Structure formats: structure tokens, C-alpha cells
Amino acid sequence: MVATRLPRRREAWLRIAAGSAAIVLLVVSMTLGATLYGGTLLVLFVGVLAQVSALPLALIRPWVAAPLSVVGALLVMASAHAGGGPWPWAVTTMITQAFVLAVLGYRARWPLGGGTLVVVVLLSGVLAPIVDRSRDQQAVATDLVVFASIGLTALAAGIAAREWQAVRRQLARERRLTEEERARRLLAEEKTRIARELHDVIAHSMSIIAVQATSAPFRHPGVDAGLRQEFDEIATLSRSALTEMRSLLGVLRDPDAPGARTPLPRLSGIAELVTQSQRSGLAVTLIGTEDLRDEGVDEAVGLSAYRIVQEALSNVIRHAHGAPVEVRVHRNDELDVLVRNGAPDADRATNGVVDASAGSGLLGMRERAASVGGTLAFGPTADGGYEVRAMLPLHPPQVPLEDA
């Protein structure tokens, strides 16, 4: 099993270096084996090729490279034994096997490299007196000890490099986890601060509106029935907004806290939203009531459609009050939501629904549409009005796991 992988560019350079070293060692080993040791060319070539091939192979298939290097080294010993120079481990053979052991220590668990070193030392020690009894056995033993020392050092260096890489990865992972935890803590603190500000500024004001609207008919007994009903509607809307605000504050303070949450509006709620706007004096016409069904529409899409219509009607009230408004909903393969107002009264309008630079309402609507995979377009109409049109999928597109 491969234990260590480098980044792609560094890995490529490592493989290029291993391949280049293998080519150089092939040329040098063949030259010395044929001239200095008088080796049989065919056997020598096969042995040297097998041993040097194990060097780049150890980077990707260490369990294949280990026995291949042992077989190659033994073939070189058996072939190139005549002549001078240290034997059974020639200098080039020793260097090649040391590189292979270093890579095995770096890329595989230590038993593979350690087992390879033990096996190759034992087999070369057994093979030496069989192949050439005329050699000085003390020189052979010295050569074996030198190789064992060099091989053990190379294996230890490879293992140390692998552990160093593991420590670096662990430190990088811990640093990343620390940064993520710090970001989550800062986000939680910011949410708490926002919740506190919302409570102090908005929730308090909404409570006063609700109390005043509820008590107004009792403080002014002479009001007529129509005005009393309007006060009741103001009180009902303010209490509803206050309840939703408190739910939002609870989520901001602790998203995982148990407790009831106010049901979020869905597509069918647009009809009630239009009715409330009509009660407030806005001339709104709703077209497509039969398409305001929650069945077959994702909750997030329905909520986005509701909020877009809500924000568009609020913009008409603020910037083009008195203008006729048309809300059109059409449902086919997509959900087509259109809010269009006509030209406002000259003495009560500002500039259509709202200019894109006038606030964040249109940007918020566009973000809501984009969050469910839809699009939103807005702009003035030819008759001096303004329109907002959202095209929303019935179900948001699924996000791939690797992008989540």
C-alpha cells in the first residue's frame, strides 16, 4: 500500500528524477559489469535492467518493486563476479539497491523495506560462496557489512522522510481545523450581535406597534367600524412579524436549539399576501391563482417566490404608491412570477418601484432566485411603470458532493 503521495507537480518531478537516475545507473552498471567484472552480457543486462527498473516502479508499485530489485541484484552478482572490484555488491549495484530501499521506506510501510533488506543480504551472503569460492571470504563479509549499513541508512532516511511528510500533513490539517473553528466562533459571535441588535431595534418597535394598534380602539372610542378593523389588521400583522422575528432571532442565537419554529411561507401564501396588500389600499390584481399550489414545488422555491412578491409589493408601496399592480403566477416546467406596476401618481411616487442603486431589495431578490437555481430580471416598462420577473425551477438543482 502506498503511504505517501506528494502534490501533483512535486510527484511528477520525483518520478522524473527516479527515471533519470535509473537510466544513468543502467548505463554505468552495464559498463562496469562488462569491463571491470567481466559479466555475461545477456544475464548482466537482464539483472541490471530489473534492478534499476525497480527504482521508479517503487514509487507506484512498491510491492512489485521490492522482489524485482532482489532478483535483479542476485542476477548481477551471479553474472559479474570475475575480475576485480568489491563483490558480491559492486558500487553501482549497492547504490541502486540503496535508492530502492530509500523509496520503499518512503512509499510503503517499514516491514516491506526492512524485509527486502534482510532477504537480499541473506541471499547474497548465501550466493557468494556458491558462485565464487576463490574470493577472500573476509573481503566478501566486509562488502556485505558495508552494503547492509548503507542499505539500513537509506531505509531509515526514507522512513524518516515519510514520517516528516505525515507530520507536516497533520500540522496543516490541525491548522486548517483551527482556522475553521475560529471562523465558526466569529460567525457565532456575529450572529449573536446581529440578533441582539435586531431585538433592541426592531422587535421593541414592533411590540410597541402591536400594543398601540390593539389599544387604539379603546383609547379612541369614537372610531368607526372600518377604522377599528384596520387597527385590528395592523395589530395582527405586527404580531405575526414579531413572532417571525423572534423565530429568526432564535435561529441566529443557536441554530441547533430545540423548540418550535414559525412555519415559513410557501407558494400558496402569495394569495394571502396579495389580500393583505389590497387591505392596505394597494390596487393589486392576482392572475394565476390556480397555479398557487404547494404540491410539486420545493419548499425553498415556494419561500423564494413568496419573498420576491413580498419585496416587490413593498417596493411599490414605498416608491410607487397609488400605481396599479399586477401579480401574475404561471406554472409549467418552471415557476414564472411577475410583479408589474403601472405609472404611479406624480405627487406620490419617487421613481418607479425602485432603482437598482436605491437599496438592496432587488439584489436580495436576485440572490434568493439564484439560491434555488433561478433567475430574476427587473427594469422599467414602456408605460412608465416597473416590473420584476423571476423564473424559478420547481425543484432546486442538486449540488454534487464534491462541490458541497
On whether residue 297 sits in a domain, the answer given is yes
On whether residue 168 sits in a domain, the answer given is yes
Residues 57 and 117 in one domain: yes
Residues 168 and 216 in one domain: no
Q: CA torsion 157→116→58→79, rounded to 10°? A: 110
Residues 25 and 171 in one domain: yes
Using only C-alpha atoms, the chain has a radius of gyration, in whole angstroms, of: 40
CB 83 within 8 A of CB 37: yes
Residues 56 and 166 in one domain: yes
On whether residue 30 sits in a domain, the answer given is yes
Residues 148 and 99 in one domain: yes
Q: What is the rounded end-to-end Cα distance, in angstroms, of the chain?
A: 30
Contact partners, residue 373, CB within 8 Å, separation at least 6: 392, 393, 396, 397
Residues 237 and 273 in one domain: no
Residues 92 and 219 in one domain: no
Whole-angstrom CA distances from 233 to 95, 221, 222, 230, 241 are 91, 17, 18, 5, 12
- Please give the single-letter amino acid code of residue 36: L
What is the distance between the alpha carbons of residues 73 and 71, in angstroms, rounded to a whole number? Answer: 6
| 3-state DSSP of the chain | CCCCCCCHHHHHHHHHHHHHHHHHHHHHHHHHHHHCCCCCHHHHHHHHHHHHHHHHHCCCCHHHHHHHHHHHHHHHHHHCCCCCCCCCCCHHHHHHHHHHHHHHHHHCCHHHHHHHHHHHHHHHHHHHHHHCCCCCHHHHHHHHHHHHHHHHHHHHHHHHHHHHHHHHHHHHHHHHHHHHHHHHHHHHHHHHHHHHHHHHHHHHHHHHHHHHHHHHHHHCCCCCHHHHHHHHHHHHHHHHHHHHHHHHHHHHHCCCCCCCCCCCCCCCHHHHHHHHHHHCCCCEEEECHHHCCCCCCCHHHHHHHHHHHHHHHHHHHHHCCCCCEEEEEEECCEEEEEEEECCCCCCCCCCCCCCCCCCCHHHHHHHHHHHCCCEEEEEECCCCCEEEEEEEECCCCCCCHHHC
What is the distance between the alpha carbons of residues 108 and 126, in angstroms, rounded to a whole number? Answer: 27
- 404 residues of the chain, pLDDT tens digit each: 444 566 788 888 889 999 999 999 999 999 988 888 888 889 999 999 999 999 999 999 999 999 999 999 999 998 887 777 788 999 999 999 999 999 999 999 899 999 999 999 999 999 888 888 888 888 899 999 999 999 999 999 999 999 998 898 899 899 999 998 988 888 878 877 777 777 666 766 777 787 777 777 777 777 787 787 888 888 787 777 777 777 666 666 666 555 445 567 889 999 998 988 888 778 899 999 899 989 989 988 998 999 999 989 888 887 887 789 999 999 988 999 999 999 876 655 444 444 444 456 788 888 889 888 899 999 999 988 999 999 999 988 764 434 43
On whether residue 125 sits in a domain, the answer given is yes
How far is CA 392 from its chain centroid? 26
Q: How many domains does the chain have?
A: 3
pLDDT of 347 = 53
On whether residue 381 sits in a domain, the answer given is yes
Q: Which long-range contacts (CB under 8 A, 24 or more apart) does 141-148 make?
A: 143/86, 143/87, 143/88, 143/89, 144/88, 144/89, 146/86, 146/89, 146/94, 147/89, 147/94, 147/97, 147/121, 148/117, 148/121
On whether residue 185 sits in a domain, the answer given is no
Domain, as residue range, for 139: 8-176
Residues 154 and 103 in one domain: yes
Residues 129 and 201 in one domain: no
Residues 120 and 60 in one domain: yes
What is the distance between the alpha carbons of residues 135 and 88, in angstroms, rounded to a whole number? Answer: 10
On whether residue 287 sits in a domain, the answer given is yes
pLDDT of 361 = 76
